[in-house]
Structure 1
Amino acid sequence: MFYLSLFCISSYVFMASIIKFSRVFLLFSAISAYTFSDYITPDFTASYLQFVDQSGTFLFSPNGTFKAAVFNPGGQTKFYVCVIHAASNTIIWSANHDAPISNSAKMNLNLTGITIVDDEGNLTWSTPPLKSAVSALALTEMGNLMLLDQSNVSLWDSFHKPTDTIVIGQRLPVGALLSSAVSDSDLSTGNYMLTITSSDAILQWHGQTYWKLSMALKAYKNSNYQVEYMTVNRTGMYLLGSNGTVTVFAVVLPVSNFRIAKLAPSGEFTVSSFSGTKWEQEFIGPEDSCQTPFICRRMGLCTHDPVSSRPICSCPPNFHAGSSNSAGCVPSNGSYSLPLACSGRSNSSSSVSYLTLGPDLGYFGNVYSVPLRHGVNLSLCQDLCSRNCSCLGIFYNNSSGSCYVLQDELGSIMSSDGDESGLLGYIKASVVSSATPHDNDADITRSQRHKFPVVALVLLPVTGCIILIAAIGLLWRRILNLSTTKDIKLGKFNSNSSRDMEAFLIPGLPQRFDYEELDKATDNFKTLIGSGGFGTVYKGVLPDKTVVAVKKIINMGIQGKKDFFTEIAVIGNIHHVNLVKLKGFCAQGGERLLVYDYMNRGSLDHALFGGGPVIEWQERLDIALGTARGLAYLHSGCDQKIIHCDIKPENILLQDHFQAKISDFGLSKLLSPEQSGLFTTMRGTRGYLAPEWLTNAAITEKTDVYSFGMVLLELVSGRKNCSPRSQTQSMNLSNSGGGHSSASSTTGLVYFPLFALEMHEQSRYLDLADPRLEGRVTVEEVEKLVRIALCCVHEEPALRPNMVTVVGILEGGIPVAQPRIESLNFLRFYGRRFSESSIIAEGNEDDSMMYPRFNISASTIRSGSQTGFSYISSQNISGPR
């Protein structure tokens, strides 16, 4: 019985082996004895039906990370020859994306390259002519499909012909582009392109720019070298120059072993990493999906939902949804239709009208385009569009006379939330019936209003000439006094109200306000919310209920008028989530006013030191990161580098959720010659001045880094860096080891940066944390910020990190360095002199004694002794603004 059982088991194993061998033999027979290695040789043919058990796969990379296959994404009937990331089944490249094939069509490898033919043998795609015969087709472990000659030299590879994706190790050089697919299942070339230029990475839709990497919140500029290529690696995405040795732009991300950058069918450019089970999106541009050109179809209105962070699509005023989902929005008045650009229809001015969009509506292209004309009136702007068949609408700024045109394709309209203040949109419409619009149809503005005068010229020649001359005179008057329509109506027009014509020759000016408007908005400048060296700031409410901060600039020399307009144009074109937005300005008579977004939580100075609710640690981190991002953008992200020179808590404003916004950047040219002369030697605020201000050393962006480090220490402690006795008593200085710390004195005054240095040397970081946090912070969290701050306040500017690096450290992508003690010893001298002056000043309640005056000779400065020069600043040079 035992032997019988053994025989049966042996027979079963033998039969199973035969069956298994038969299956393998049949499979190998079906695939022409090919074993799915990491390369194949010519005369090889593949089709989906041939490898149906392997989902069309005919080639693997050495470790199986990638595969090449005849694949149908989404289970559709369209098949493509693709390179696929095996673990996620994600297509990273396709050969015949614009010429899909059927499941029985074939890919052939021969000595001349790769060809793809349809069912009837017609060529649909092929590699270009090659220099020599093909020896093998290989798929590398990075995902690069390569044709090799007999010496293993590359004849052609997929990395140099990208579609919509690049992977780690792949370069996208200047002049190259990524093209979106139509959809995830239709790989045909879509309407979006990512192009690499010598200075940026740009997203475009039908040739219209809608996003630049340089304006992204997470992208920071490291140098002014020319870009050579884009790449992604384990630490992030970069634009590199100088043969890959210089980082021009950096997007630092968490370390990942596999990462891709992709231009999605929606037009969004994303960077994602694969963790082994799922994709994690790490970066997206544009950040606001409503800035994607076609997110809500043609003329659809996109509104960002802050709760779900998803777009909400509707139709703007004077439009309603079309009959199909693809139609977008169409005119509510059935007598009008939206023309196609240069479609061959009549585009005569008599058949063209303009549908008016509501206020606070914008268009993606306005931010990235320049006006067609400056200083024109609305009628002329509309006429320019009416005569151009490619123009489909305009946006017009009534205060500056700037005329923006929408050309070739109409995308979605977006809710601008005031970002395009002063711009009103007008969409071109064609008359499609004989019906005449009613006179009270307020949403139609005709581009041609001179029909009756033309008739009058025919019937009454003399009268017509008089009318014509009067019309020319009126037009010339409007050009000369373009933005003073209200003054004309009120009879205020005179030789002194020409409103600075040179302003209209400077492009990029933001909205211009009349002084009367701002006087009314601020209730005769009633509510003062700040003052300082640049002027006084008042709270105001515009007619549309927008709350603003109005700054009155003082001591403005009349000869600085042109510089004022130029500077305003520069500041007005700077847009970053961590910079206070300049909404507009007023330059009327001798008055110079700036209009900013109102920050409802006030300044960091008030929130941190004002005795209100304690700011939690995570909120302090958010403030630090937001401030660092804003500074990094000023230093590296603008077309023109801006050094702030006065970073302090008063100039860091807070909005909801403690979002930090830097104020008063780029205002150095707005002072009179007497004031600006002071800034050639010293500018800033006591306690935050970098040493180089007093040594005639070059003032660079590292000056702002020093001030940021001082602010960071105040965020840690919740106190001014120079604290009175009542604050010192709660610092537990008696726990410093029993000895008397040089950071304090018998008066109770303490110089916190020195105390922070001493606690760093003893690794006693929790002694530095704001006691009001009551332990709601870890030693590791405090240590990180203290070390960053000490690195920022190194005496030698070259040892300080740049703000791009600071952002990377705060975000966690770059490790924090150890401070250089030898470059921080100047704090000890400062601490001793501060204590000595505190003893002298004991009993003096003058607040200026908080920052005592030090009498240090010029010889001391020239000697190069280990003294810190920041303490010499005993006065507020520019003051809170």
Structure 2
Amino acid sequence: MAVAGATLFLLLLTLLTTTYSATIYTGSITPIYTTTHFLLVDNNGVFLLSINRTYTAAILNTQSTSTFYLVIYHSATHTVVWAANRNTPISSSGEIRLTFNGITIHDDSGEQIWSTPAFNSSVASLQLLDSGNLILLDRFNKTLWQSFDYPMDTIVSGQKFPVGGSLISTNSPVDFSDGDYTFTVTSSDGILRWQNLTYYSLLMDSNSIKNSNQPISYVMVNGSGLYLFGVSDIAIKVTITPAAADSDYRILKMTNNGHLVVNTYINNNWVTIFSTPSNSCRPPARCGKLGLCSDSGCSCPPGFRTDPATRPGCFLSDNSLSLPEPCGDETHRRSNSSEDFFYVPLGAGMTYIPVDFMDPVKTGVSLSTCKAICSESCSCLAFYYGNQSGSCNLIENHLGSVVSSFGNISDNKLGFVKTVSSLSLSRNQGNDSGSDFPVIGLVLLPASGVLAISIFAILMNRRSKHNKMKPNSKKLVDNYSDDLELFSIAGLPVRFDHEDLVEATGNFGTRIGSGGFGTVYKGVLRDKTVVAVKKITALGAQGKKEFGTEIAIIGNIHHVNLVKLKGFCAHRRERYLVYEYMNRGSLDRTLFCPGPPMEWQERFEIAVGTARGLAYLHSECEHKIIHCDVKPENILLSDNMQVKISDFGLSKLLSPEQSGLFTTMRGTRGYLAPEWLTNAAISDKTDVYSYGMVLLELIQGKKNCVQPSSHNSGNASTSAEGHSSVSSGSQNHPRARAFYFPLKALEMHEEGRYLDLVEPRIASRVTNIEAEKLVKVALCCLHEDPSLRPTMANVVAMLEGTLPVGEPRLECLNFLRFYGRRFTEPSTVGTGDEVEVPSGFMVVTFDSSSPSASPNSFSYMSSQQVSGPR
């Protein structure tokens, strides 16, 4: 009985001190009060109404999950204007407590997760006003705390929003936690930010009027407009056109899609009467990570693709590269060298809007310096480089979407996205996993033991080398020195043993072609990877130089449109390069051979892919690289129409500061730019000219230069990586007339007859607009003055439609008329007759043994050029 009496006493005491009630209060509640959503379930969570029932306080569940918030919402529309525990929701049994100390919220375990601050006076009541303001009062009716001082994403009519405050968007309409967008009031403007990056301001809106220079004190929205007030006057007024039957009651809201809106209450509903920014592409997360935003919607920039499973956002098309996460990510921990990172260009005109509101980390620096700064910062995920100013803007921690340039966005900045090679990552992973035992072993060994092991290893290495050398074999000694010099080149790719390549190629039994520096064989490595192994046969002094260039440069270049160098081998005086294998061979094999023609879309994709690869070489590598031998034989294809440029053996490295003069002539007849034939400087625009010639061949499906020949068709041509190609025999029929297609392209352009240039077998499936685009781009690339040719980056932009197609300048193409006339005159081709040429020029007949030459082939070059290097 005593126990039962004690229990009853405690129960009565609890009921006297704490009220558990499902009563809905109007106006105010006094302490002590405790409730849960479970107790209020019959009231839909409601426990307090304002006097006129305009606003409601409730414990609200906004989605199907068990997440509840203490909120205030507009009674008629259930529009939430404030939430207390927006980042820490509770369950249906979580408690809301009103005590003399204030309001507290507790989770299931009773742990306090939110509270009002401490007060000097005791709380006498909790009131909900018809303005939507929830307040705590003391016994003298003095306000101790109010929800208006702690806005969420919304302010209501009459609510003062002070300078320094921020409206933070929700993650979604049903998830009240902090989103990525904020509206912040400064002393001079209202700023819209995403991930703390500014992307817009109120003064940029055409409806904003600066009324005075007074510093802003607070923002208010009411029935007459949106105002940013100074101390004694309106600093900024935002003009809002009222809606029909507009009311005086409005709310200002930062939406979860990045827009600041004003809504008015009409006919029992909220209607948006103002929204800024007006351009839907300004909010940086509009199309997700690296998505391309346009008026027509979201897509991906060149070189990127969507992933239906994780939309929105874009990912690299090249699966061998991936996007690293910011600091703390495993990729950055393992990639402790700037050489582990590669940078994918976003292309001309691809703007990242927050960049225009950033201060550059450096100005007046080179592109390579800006890349190095980004590589050394684990928070840097991309950067924008200003060509004119040398400015370097880092994009850190978060990547949003990009847009084609618009408005006042500056167009002279180029964007580069940081990526990491999966090969580098796996290599570093292997180093991590394999380094533990050796490191521990060295630590445990005494110093004398480490020294003994080191000396033993050196002696064994020397003995091995000595056993491979015959006595008095000076040549082998020289080769050994050459190898040591070769291996000192920084950044070499994987070195294969000669025995590995013998095994992979079946003792070099499957020849697939030959290039200017040797023969290429098909091989299969032990991991079943199919490769093309180029054996460098014409080494010599220049060959060694070219070999060193290829392995040191190509081995560290990673781009979806450039052939990958997997490794190399240096065996005595023999040199080998191991490339990825492209199973469709070179472009000329598909384009010029009998069989079904390539469709126009295929040709267009090849044109774009080739342009992207060249643009990367010219402007996005640490040093500028000029290919110098752009031709169909050096453009490789795979079954899925991947396009890769090959054979960098003729390329030269240039720093951004160098003008780039070559001392020897190089390249292939038919693709040589006019500057090769004069004493002009050779630059990246030389590749642009060759690309223009290739583009014309893609359009017509045959060689630009067709000459009569007494030889039969079917002579094998060669590609850079040895993928065999065949010349078109029908073009070399003995009775065929010499033909120079670039001249015809110029003439048809003048007449607007672009479809006449398309290969007849596919012309019916091509529109005149499509043909015009490629012809104009090609002719712009052929301008005689290199400075008037577009950059390859601009060629990419024109082909992809982000830049308007340039208009060829006829006065800069007149040289094609001279070339064409001389080329097609019957008396000058294969007869031995003299050719009348301009002063200072002569006709040169190329050696027919050259892989790219044919009998009676010729080109014009200066007499000074043929006398030797400049």
With the length of structure 1 as denominator, give the TM-score of the two structures: 0.51
| Pair 1:72–1:499, CA change in 2 (3 A) | same
Does structure 1 residue 598 correspond to structure 2 residue 699? no
| Pair 1:221–1:855, CA change in 2 (3 A) | farther
Q: Which residue of 2 aligns with 1:474?
A: 456
| Pair 1:475–1:525, CA change in 2 (3 A) | same
Q: Which residue of 1 aligns with 2:789?
A: 800
Of residues 688-697 and 495-504 in structure 1, the stretch that sits farther from structure 2 once superposed is 495-504
Does structure 1 residue 631 correspond to structure 2 residue 631? no
Contact 2:685 2:791 in 1 (8 A): yes
Shift of 1:783: 0.6
Deviations 1:686-713 (A, max 9, x none): 1111000011100000100000000000
Q: Which residue of 2 aligns with 1:765?
A: 754
* Whole-Å separation in 1 of the counterparts to 2:779 and 2:197: 56
Equivalent in 141, 161, 167 of residue 69 of structure 1: 167
User: 1:777 corresponds to which letter in structure 2?
Assistant: V
Higher Cα Rg: structure 1 or 2?
2
Q: Which residue of 1 aligns with 2:162?
A: none
Contact 1:685 1:877 in 2 (8 A): no
Contact 1:716 1:769 in 2 (8 A): yes
Of residues 651-660 and 525-534 in structure 1, the stretch that sits farther from structure 2 once superposed is 525-534
Shift of 1:641: 0.7
* Whole-Å separation in 2 of the counterparts to 1:551 and 1:645: 19
Shift of 1:449: 5.8
Q: Which residue of 1 aligns with 2:812?
A: 823
2:458 aligns to what SS in structure 1?
helix
Does structure 1 residue 93 correspond to structure 2 residue 215? no
Work out the number of aligned pairs and report it: 546
| Pair 1:840–1:70, CA change in 2 (3 A) | closer
Q: Which residue of 1 aligns with 2:87?
A: none
Deviations 1:427-448 (A, max 9, x none): 75xxxxxxxxxxxxxxxx6655
User: 1:768 corresponds to which letter in structure 2?
Assistant: L
Please provide the CA RMSD for this pair. Answer: 5.8
Listed as ranges, the gaps of 5+ residues in structure 2 are 1-51, 55-73, 82-127, 134-142, 159-164, 185-190, 199-212, 222-226, 237-255, 260-276, 285-289, 291-322, 351-362, 372-381, 407-413, 654-660, 710-732, 854-870
Does structure 1 residue 215 correspond to structure 2 residue 333? no
| Pair 1:214–1:239, CA change in 2 (3 A) | farther
Q: Which residue of 1 aligns with 2:384?
A: 239
1:583 aligns to what SS in structure 2?
strand
Deviations 1:566-588 (A, max 9, x none): 65222210111101111111112
* Whole-Å separation in 1 of the counterparts to 2:537 and 2:632: 22
Q: Which residue of 1 aligns with 2:327?
A: 205
1:772 aligns to what SS in structure 2?
coil
Does structure 1 residue 426 correspond to structure 2 residue 406? no
Shift of 1:835: 1.5
User: 1:721 corresponds to which letter in structure 2?
Assistant: N
| Pair 1:478–1:76, CA change in 2 (3 A) | farther
User: 1:239 corresponds to which letter in structure 2?
Assistant: Y
* Whole-Å separation in 1 of the counterparts to 2:466 and 2:183: 62
Shift of 1:240: 4.8
Q: Which residue of 2 aligns with 1:787?
A: 776
| Pair 1:776–1:48, CA change in 2 (3 A) | farther
Does structure 1 residue 512 correspond to structure 2 residue 495? yes
Shift of 1:593: 1.3
User: 2:182 corresponds to which letter in structure 1?
Assistant: V
* Whole-Å separation in 2 of the counterparts to 1:748 and 1:622: 32
| Pair 1:47–1:830, CA change in 2 (3 A) | farther
| Pair 1:135–1:753, CA change in 2 (3 A) | same
Contact 1:578 1:630 in 2 (8 A): yes
* Whole-Å separation in 1 of the counterparts to 2:817 and 2:526: 55
User: 2:458 corresponds to which letter in structure 1?
Assistant: W
* Whole-Å separation in 1 of the counterparts to 2:564 and 2:529: 13
Does structure 1 residue 859 correspond to structure 2 residue 839? yes
Deviations 1:516-564 (A, max 9, x none): 2222222222222222322221211212221111112233236975874
User: 1:476 corresponds to which letter in structure 2?
Assistant: I
Contact 1:225 1:241 in 2 (8 A): no
User: 1:808 corresponds to which letter in structure 2?
Assistant: A
| Pair 1:594–1:95, CA change in 2 (3 A) | closer
2:839 aligns to what SS in structure 1?
helix
| Pair 1:760–1:695, CA change in 2 (3 A) | same
2:538 aligns to what SS in structure 1?
coil
Shift of 1:613: 2.5
* Whole-Å separation in 2 of the counterparts to 1:558 and 1:274: 49
* Whole-Å separation in 2 of the counterparts to 1:220 and 1:589: 46
| Pair 1:486–1:221, CA change in 2 (3 A) | farther
Contact 2:592 2:703 in 1 (8 A): yes
* Whole-Å separation in 2 of the counterparts to 1:787 and 1:820: 10
* Whole-Å separation in 2 of the counterparts to 1:618 and 1:710: 19
| Pair 1:59–1:205, CA change in 2 (3 A) | farther
2:434 aligns to what SS in structure 1?
strand
Deviations 1:571-627 (A, max 9, x none): 210111101111111112111111111110100010100113311110101000000
* Whole-Å separation in 2 of the counterparts to 1:702 and 1:504: 33
User: 2:747 corresponds to which letter in structure 1?
Assistant: E
Does structure 1 residue 83 correspond to structure 2 residue 182? yes
Q: Which residue of 1 aligns with 2:559?
A: 576
Shift of 1:679: 7.0
Q: Which residue of 2 aligns with 1:256?
A: none
Does structure 1 residue 649 correspond to structure 2 residue 632? yes
Q: Which residue of 2 aligns with 1:812?
A: 801
2:514 aligns to what SS in structure 1?
strand
Contact 2:512 2:520 in 1 (8 A): yes
1:215 aligns to what SS in structure 2?
strand
Deviations 1:66-101 (A, max 9, x none): x9635442445645795269xxxx99436799xxxx
| Pair 1:50–1:562, CA change in 2 (3 A) | closer
Deviations 1:151-201 (A, max 9, x none): 9999xxxxxxxx9999999999xxxxx9xxxxxxxxxxxxxxxxxxxxxx9
Contact 1:686 1:877 in 2 (8 A): no
* Whole-Å separation in 2 of the counterparts to 1:767 and 1:487: 65
Contact 1:535 1:553 in 2 (8 A): yes
| Pair 1:570–1:80, CA change in 2 (3 A) | closer
1:538 aligns to what SS in structure 2?
strand
1:656 aligns to what SS in structure 2?
coil
Q: Which residue of 1 aligns with 2:706?
A: 723
Does structure 1 residue 697 correspond to structure 2 residue 680? yes
Shift of 1:799: 1.1
1:551 aligns to what SS in structure 2?
strand
Q: Which residue of 2 aligns with 1:411?
A: none
Contact 2:168 2:182 in 1 (8 A): no
* Whole-Å separation in 1 of the counterparts to 2:197 and 2:683: 52
* Whole-Å separation in 2 of the counterparts to 1:507 and 1:579: 20
| Pair 1:537–1:562, CA change in 2 (3 A) | closer
User: 2:551 corresponds to which letter in structure 1?
Assistant: I
| Pair 1:695–1:69, CA change in 2 (3 A) | same
Q: Which residue of 2 aligns with 1:618?
A: 601
* Whole-Å separation in 1 of the counterparts to 2:756 and 2:555: 43
Q: Which residue of 2 aligns with 1:371?
A: none
Does structure 1 residue 271 correspond to structure 2 residue 393? no
Contact 2:364 2:391 in 1 (8 A): yes
Q: Which residue of 2 aligns with 1:533?
A: 516
| Pair 1:684–1:262, CA change in 2 (3 A) | closer
Contact 1:81 1:96 in 2 (8 A): no
